A and B are shown apart, each in its own frame.
Chain A
Amino acid sequence: MIAFDPATASFRGPSASLDHLISALSTDDELSAVLAAHASGIAADPTMDGIRGALTAPLFRVGITVSGPGAQQHHDLLVGANGVGVRRSPLKDGLAELTAYPIGTLPGGMTRLVRFLPGTAPTPEQGPIRVPQEQLVRLTDPDAATRVAAWSGLDPLIGDVLGPAADDSWQIVEARSSWTSLDEEPGEDLVVQIRRAEHHLLIEEENGSASLRPVTSLRAWEEFIRVLPEHDEVGAPR
């Protein structure tokens, strides 16, 4: 059953039910009818108009997937032409939430969603690390065992260059943005990066081969946040 918290402008409920509600909110149907069909017992609230406005006319979207040894989470964020931000995120036990957020806090929100951590700086000798491209793809697999197996093949290659890590934590972050450009063409961008304990690595691909470039954590964050389109790239929503 879906619940609405007016204090945080958040819908929460089972994932599948929430996604049906999101689809319905993205139409022109009367709000009361949408709620009756997908979130019975919830009365219309003024904040829902802002959420609907953003869902029906998004300026740009960012999809963020964080994969690690234990879990994989996907977050969808969008910024509406009405100046409202909306985020869909998974919660525990098969639940999910749809919540509004102030668009000025988007960079901070993205940073916290991926639990970005400060790291150490690579030495000048610690250059790009060639890795099998297919191992990187397996690192983002929905199956945890596949991800763990892929990491067991990559970690020694990284360790040969960067040395032992402070702990065994790791994650790979994929951030995809999409928007309609000023000339009404689809625009998109993709950033993929890895954190191995205190080490941050950018993924570079060229001519079918892949390498991991060790960078400072600030450099990694700069690349991450640049998945957002520039203000002069985004046109009216289509």
Chain B
Amino acid sequence: MDLERISVTTTTAPGVAVDVDIPGTWEVERRDCAPTLVAKLSAEEAGPFADNIVVTLEPLPSETPRDLEAITAISRAQQHASVPDLHLLEDRPAAVGGLRGHSRALLQTAPPGLTVITRQVFALAGDTLVTLALTSFPFRDRESSALMEQILDTLSIRLDVEDLA
């Protein structure tokens, strides 16, 4: 799979950039609000489900503790409350983009009644929560797990100190 290097930034989280390789043929949409970037498999290649990558740079409210484990625990509870047929496969600390981070994997049922797997990583970059999630169709999981490996190998989270000053 041919990958293309992209950089993800947002005006709402100045001074933070996420650099990562993603499939060059996927359709990319950038936003200045969450989610910051969505890349997805084209309709021609997708079949019943369009695998997709979502990157979010989310400035944390001042009252939120800068504690990644506490933040991911809250997000897990929110996912249990809102994601159909959620089944957790993994949820543990992990290195992400050169920072101390968190790794999660879960199954859910997506329309129109398909099991999909979401592989998700979290990291704190200063006051910004960075999340990246690859959601894919398990019937082609060899390709998806290889893609996630490539994404994580190329992922870099930059804190531009000059912009923060």
Q: Which residues of A contact B (CB under 8 A)?
A: 102, 104-109, 111-112, 116, 118-121, 216-218, 221-222, 225-226, 228, 230-231
**CA A225 – CA B91 in complex, angstroms?**
19
Question: Once the chains bind, are A105 and B139 in contact (CB under 8 Å)?
Answer: no
Q: Which residues of A contact B48 (CB under 8 A)?
A: 104
Instruction: Please report the C-alpha to C-alpha distance between residue A102 and residue B112 in the assembled complex, in whole angstroms.
Output: 10
Listed A/B pairs (18) with beta-carbon separation below 8 Å: A104-B48, A104-B112, A104-B115, A105-B113, A107-B139, A108-B107, A108-B109, A118-B88, A118-B91, A120-B92, A121-B94, A216-B90, A216-B92, A217-B89, A217-B105, A221-B90, A222-B145, A225-B138
Q: Are B92 and A121 in contact, with the CB atoms below 8 A?
A: yes
Whether B94 and A102, one on each chain, are in contact in the complex, defined by CB atoms closer than 8 angstroms, is no
- In Å, the complex CA distance between A221 and B87 comes to 12
Interface residues of B (CB under 8 A from A): 48, 85, 87-92, 94, 103, 105, 107, 109, 112-115, 117, 119, 138-142, 145
How many residue-residue contacts, CB under 8 A, span A and B?
63
Contacts of B90 in A (CB 8 A): 118-119, 216-218, 221
Q: Is there an interface contact between B105 and A218, defined as CB atoms closer than 8 Å?
A: yes
- Whether A108 contacts B139 in the complex (CB less than 8 A), given A216-B90, A217-B90, comes out as no
Q: How far is the CB of B55 from chain A (nearest CB, A)?
A: 20
How far, in angstroms, from A221 to B85 measured CA to CA in the complex?
A: 17
User: Which A residues are CB-close (under 8 A) to B103?
Assistant: 218
Q: Is there contact, CB below 8 Å, between A118 and B114?
A: no
Question: In the assembly, what is the distance between CA of A108 and CA of B139, in Å?
Answer: 11
- In this complex, which of B90, B105, B107 has the most chain A Cβ atoms within 10 angstroms of its Cβ? B90
Contact B139 A218 (CB under 8 A): no
Q: Which of A109, A222, A228 contacts B139 (CB 8 A)?
A: A228
- Closest chain-A Cβ to B95's Cβ sits at a distance in Å of 11
Query: Once the chains are docked, how many angstroms separate the CA of A13 from the CA of B52?
Result: 43
In the bound complex, residues from chain A placing their C-beta under 8 Å from that of B119 are 218
Bound CA–CA A221/B48 (angstroms): 22
- Pair A108/B87 contact, Cβ less than 8 Å: yes
A224 shortest CB reach to chain B, Å: 10
Shortest distance from the beta carbon of B90 to any chain A beta carbon, whole Å = 4
CA distance A106 to B142 in the complex (A): 16
A119 to B88, CA, bound (A): 10
